[in-house]
Amino acid sequence: MNVTIANPKWVKAVKGNKDDTKDSKWIGDLFRLGLVPGSYIPCKPIRILREFTRYRYKLTSCRSSEKNRFQNALTVCNVALDSVVSDIFGKSATSVIDYLIEQSDNSIKHEEIASRLLRSLKKKSDRVIESIEGYQMTDSPKYRMRLVRAHMDYITSTMKDIDTMLDSLIAPYENAVQLLCTIPGVDRNSAITVISEIGTDMTPFSNSKRLCCWAGLTPGNNESASKKKSVRITRAGVYLNPALVQVAHAAVKSDKSPYYKQKYERIKKRRGKKRAIIAIARMVLTAIYQILSTGEVWNPTDLYKIDMPELLKERHCPLLSFTVTSSLLWVCEKIVLWLILLWVKPDRDKNRYVLAGA
């Protein structure tokens, strides 16, 4: 028996004329005619890897929520330590907050606060003391902050266990991870997330355009009566999209490999920041498809060299060669003119030009 797992969106019957019997008949007719596209189902090791990466994503979101709750408790207690320190959960800030929680009354000793500061914060001891001066911390917020911190420690320890498990599960795909890390903005965690979502076998996707469409990074087509409506990207790739957008933000800030940075600056002027980031994310996914398909390291190239049909490639190649040739001729012309101005000087008395050394 051949079982096909399909998206309900593509087998939905007409609204207002459907029930269970009609739905089953409609789906059977579509399947008989070959109009039911099957969903992408990776192999079992990739599915197991995906479960752990998605669980780690949920834990990361949960830890961020707990950090916001902890910050809210400090704000209620009139502690503005976040206005001075860059990380409220760093060593110095944690030591100061522990001191405030341990105090039975709302008094502080300036010398004790200054002794708990490390490195560059020692120069800002006056600002730190000013940010916590006059705080009001009762037993209720103290107890809540202890609970939040204990929960954060538990989440952090669980994430470490998951990272250990991920290292063992990703071992067979270590070569693919190293190849993906050659892309600007992609670190080990991002590479593991991408592999867990799309796998390493690109044969289910006919080309990179199909992969980008499956990931929800392509604009839709919504045109009727010669009027174009919203073409926003779809909601697909709930876990893959955030990882690629995070990679895109890191890639456009890279000075070592400014390829994506230049693309981003050019698109941002025409389409805005948000559309430019989505465009860079799609370029990164296209590069991932090419790397996993060929086994080669990342090499900056334009999109048309990968996905453009052969006929359009032949049309672009003469245009590209003409552009390069014209640019070289322009440079040579400028160099010749510069040499002429350097070695020839005008003789205004005889109304002629002579060599500079003559």
pLDDT at 322: 46
Q: Please write the tens of the pLDDT for every residue from 98-116.
A: 888 888 887 888 888 888 8
Q: Please, where are the H alpha helices in 205-272?
A: 208-214, 240-251, 259-271
Q: Please write the tens of the pLDDT for every residue from 212-269.
A: 989 999 887 778 888 887 778 888 889 999 999 999 999 999 888 888 998 999 999 9
CATH 1.10.287 residue ranges in the chain?
Answer: 49-169
Task: Check: pTM over 0.75? Answer yes or no.
Answer: yes
Supply 83's token pair.
Answer: 């206005």
Whose tokens are 């490195």? That residue is 119
∠ CA 197-49-218, nearest 5°, is 5
Class of 49-169 per CATH?
A: mainly alpha
pLDDT at 320: 47
Neighbour-count burial for 18-57, b at 16+ CB within 10 Å, e otherwise: eeeeeeeebbeebeeeeebeeeeebeeebeebbebbeebe
pLDDT at 314: 65
**pLDDT beneath 70, residues of the chain:** 301-330, 341-358
C-alpha distances in Å from residue 204, one per residue of 56, 72, 95, 185, 330? 26, 47, 53, 26, 47
Cβ neighbours of residue 264 closer than 8 Å, sequence gap 6 or more: 248, 252, 276, 277, 279, 280
